[in-house]
Amino acid sequence: YAANLAQIYQHYLAEGFDEVYFAIIPNPATLLQPANYNNLIPVLENHPASKIPVISLYTQLKQSPGPRQYFRAGDTHWNNKGIQMWLAMVNEILAQESKKGLQN
């Protein structure tokens, strides 16, 4: 998987994108039933073969005192709080990239 991610990253950079980000959206089971989780998300996010910058929702959600608060009840989709958390992370990264571009 990591090698495929590296190929995808290089492909889209070659297509002209300034940057490409990798984010796996974890479902509630990975956070609420960690004893049965195989840790695929952190393995992929930290794999040395993958050079894609990561937006790690898993890490932030796992550190949350109540990850259930970000998902709709009885569903695997985010609620508004989860969506707002995601947007804040993406906007912060884009703001940082924008500042770098202004400095160059």
pTM: 0.76
> What is the DSSP secondary-structure string of the chain?
-HHHHHHHHHHHHHTT-S---B-----HHHHH-GGG---HHHHHHT-TT--S-B--HHHHHHHSS-GGGGB-TTSSSB-HHHHHHHHHHHHHHHHHHHHHHHH-
Q: Average pLDDT of 27-43?
A: 87
pLDDT above 90 (res 17): yes
pLDDT tens-place string over residues 46-87:
998 888 888 988 988 888 888 889 999 888 889 999 999 999
